[in-house]
Amino acid sequence: MKVIVTGGAGFIGANLCRRLAASPEVDAVVALDDLSTGFESNLAGVDAELVVGSILDADRLQTVLSEGDAVVHLAARPSVPRSLQDPVATHEANSTGTLRVLEAARTRGAHVVVASSSSVYGGNPVLPKSEDLASRPLSPYAVSKLATEAYAGAYAASFGLPTLAFRFFNVYGPLQAAGHAYAAVVPAFVDAALRGEPLVVHGDGTQSRDFTFVGTVTEVLTDAVLRRVTSPDPVNLAFGTRTSLVDLISLLEEQLGHAVKVEHVGPRKGDVPHSQASEASLRAHFPEVAPVPLAVGLAETIGWFRTLDPATSRPGRHEA
Ligand code: NAD
């Protein structure tokens, strides 16, 4: 079995390539990535081929996908703030990019798993978020993810392509980049805490998220690929936990063994106040899945950050 991972040099993608490459059922793993936010070094020591190129390059995509039995489509311009900076670039990479991946997969009949996002629930205040709730995107990024999952469903309905769309909720863990303006909250907090710098909290910190460890996400994605799981509707990939940023900071302090400095700034545009998944559909499709608890995943994440070069927040100098 040959698996193509678009965005395979990114945070989730590289963790997935490592997991797939370790799977006896998988013969070959190919990562297709334009390295816009991903890093070649994320795949160091992983038995996967990296093809540097864009999913918007139809010929390149066709060549790479021509031998794939399954495609896990993770390539995207991630992050809400990036989409506010340049909505059209987000649309092209995420919406048009997904369309191109599905087109290339269609000729091969490959199983396609795509990454949508909890951001599609947006302004809908109902908790927990079950997949049948009305979506109310609050940012161009959220719209582009709605297009991603809708195209996957439409290609299944129109052409019989086997597809599955996951709605990821805040995924965190090793390889997630910090040290840039659009960093996600867990790497931003861990990086700042280890440097002794203030943790920047948008708003009062009572906003809450359903944090999901990347190791759990890659287990589910691998299982989906190996069992060729499909669904006409998107499936939340989170477990119904809800942690406020205030509680996340307390846990971080507990694990580091000291207090951290916190700086409050204004709320961020496009951010939703609370996010918590209904896990019913995920459990129905993946009854075996056992999520890694936040305390365990956070400890592993802190451990990885301690190995980074402090000058760049990238792999480099190894410290105790
Ligand atoms: P990431 O930025 O680390 O990974 C995205 C990868 O896609 C990068 O390696 C980037 O270089 C690559 N890429 C971007 N545009 C490309 C293009 N045109 N052609 C080829 N490669 C391209 O981010 P991530 O957190 O690993 O996100 C992976 C996927 O999961 C994305 O689709 C994202 O929208 C989705 N997602 C992530 C989260 C999360 O919490 N991390 C939450 C919801 C959804």
pLDDT above 90 (res 255):
yes
Ligand 1 centroid distance, CA of 93 (Å): 10
CB-defined site of ligand 1, < 6 Å: 6-7, 9-13, 32-38, 54-56, 74-78, 93, 97, 115, 117, 168, 170-171, 184
- Give the position, in ligand 1's atom list, of the atom nearest the Cα of 73: 32
pLDDT at position 313 is 75
Give the pLDDT band of residue 179 (cuts 50, 70, 90): confident
pLDDT at position 248 is 98
- Are 104 and 61 within 8 A, CB to CB? yes
The pLDDT tens digits for 85-132 are 999 999 999 999 999 999 999 989 999 999 999 999 999 999 999 999
Element (H, E) at 3: strand 2-6
The pLDDT tens digits for 191-211 are 999 999 999 999 999 999 999
pLDDT at position 312 is 78
pTM to 2 decimal places? 0.97
pLDDT above 80 (res 270):
no
**Per-position DSSP letters for 93-158, written without gaps between them:** IIIIHHHHHHHHHHHHT-EEEEEEEGGGTTT---SSB-TTSPP---SHHHHHHHHHHHHHHHHHHH
Ligand 1 centroid distance, CA of 216 (Å): 17
Name the residue of 6, 30, 37 whose CB sits within 8 Å of the most ligand 1 atoms, as the mutation to test its pocket.
Answer: 37
pLDDT above 90 (res 314):
no
Q: Nearest 10 degrees: CA dihedral of 112, 184, 174, 189?
A: -160
pLDDT at position 162 is 98
Ligand 1 centroid distance, CA of 9 (Å): 9
Ligand 1 centroid distance, CA of 254 (Å): 31
pLDDT above 70 (res 317):
no
Give the pLDDT band of residue 316 (cuts 50, 70, 90): low
CA–CA distance, 12 with 136 (Å, rounded to integer): 25
pLDDT above 50 (res 175):
yes
Give the pLDDT band of residue 271 (cuts 50, 70, 90): confident
* Average pLDDT in the chain: 95
pLDDT above 70 (res 145):
yes
pLDDT above 60 (res 234):
yes
**Per-position DSSP letters for 88-110, written without gaps between them:** HHHIIIIIIHHHHHHHHHHHHT-
